[in-house]
Amino acid sequence: MESIAEYKKEYPMLITLHKSGSTWVNAYIHKKMRKLGMTPPPKNLYTEFFTSVEHISNVESKSNKEHIKRFVNKTYKERIALLEELRTFGFELAHKAHIPEINSIWPWFKEFYKDHDLLVLKRRKIFSHWLSILFNRCILDAAPTEEMGNAKEGYTGLIPSKANGPYDEDILKSTIQEYNVQFKFNAKCFREFVNNIRFLNDVVIKDLKKQENKPQVIWLEDIDTAWLQKRFHVELKTHKHGVPFKTLDYKVYFKPEEMALIKEKFKERFDAEFQFYGYEYK
């Protein structure tokens, strides 16, 4: 008879940071899990099962839809209880885990998923990663949260989620113009980014490598659609899930003096820490 540990190895669990390509990779995991376990609606609100209130848009948090209201108000304790109860029935829920949302529950998380097919996704070009996070933070800080999308249609206009359709890039650019977004260095955001990079590399990866079931650590830059299809044995009808924007250049939105400050602060951390994790200053 197959052991519990053996059957759990069939279930992928993706661990990563925001803006690392997780929507794209998880689209393949989500489809694979339709045959293996339980899948929530394919929206980040649900697939990021442990998302914190700070990462839920105001449209979603104030939605009049009863099922959304009930979900966003659930505590971590309640969400953990659901996952544990589902396992007693032999079910596993498909979801992805972002570092800011699981660091407070990491001891539980690593034990609960220790037998799963663990994948850790990283972006080698770490400056581009940081700039994409800062870019989005500037938009969120500038725009009125009560106008952050269309709850009826189920999208959030001011968050450049690449899962919502082909027009998101245009929506994003018009949003920047409408609210006169000021793109500047954000010290608090940078501290959070540095702490998340440290936690991913010094805690998550090191802890998981100590286990009998080792994780697969992958760089976003090393994978493509063919790799994902082979890895998860599924194909998607469309390849637009989470693909990068084609014409959006984050750098041009920052004034030269701001970009100089951003690079100065980043270079300090790259030389002192990031390079030793295998990242590249690109």
pLDDT digits (tens, 9 = 90+) for 134-191: 998 998 888 765 444 444 444 444 444 433 443 467 777 877 888 889 999 999 999 9
Percent of the chain exceeding pLDDT 70 equals 79
Contact indicator for 99, 203 with CB cutoff of 8 Å = no
pLDDT score for 159:
45
The residue extents of the domains of the chain are 4-277
Side-chain half-sphere CA neighbours of 83 within 13 A = 18
Contact indicator for 200, 122 with CB cutoff of 8 Å = yes
pLDDT digits (tens, 9 = 90+) for 57-112: 444 445 556 667 778 788 899 999 999 999 999 999 999 999 999 999 999 999 99
Name residues whose C-beta falls within 8 Å of residue 262's C-beta, 6 or more positions apart in sequence.
Answer: 131, 134, 185, 254
pLDDT score for 154:
42
Residue 42, pLDDT above cutoff 50: yes
Side chain identity at 26, as an amino acid letter?
Answer: N
- Domain 4-277 falls under CATH 3.40.50: yes
Question: What does DSSP say about strands 216-219 and 12-16: parallel, antiparallel, or unpaired?
Answer: unpaired
Length of the chain: 282
List phi, psi (to 5°) of 43.
-125, 145
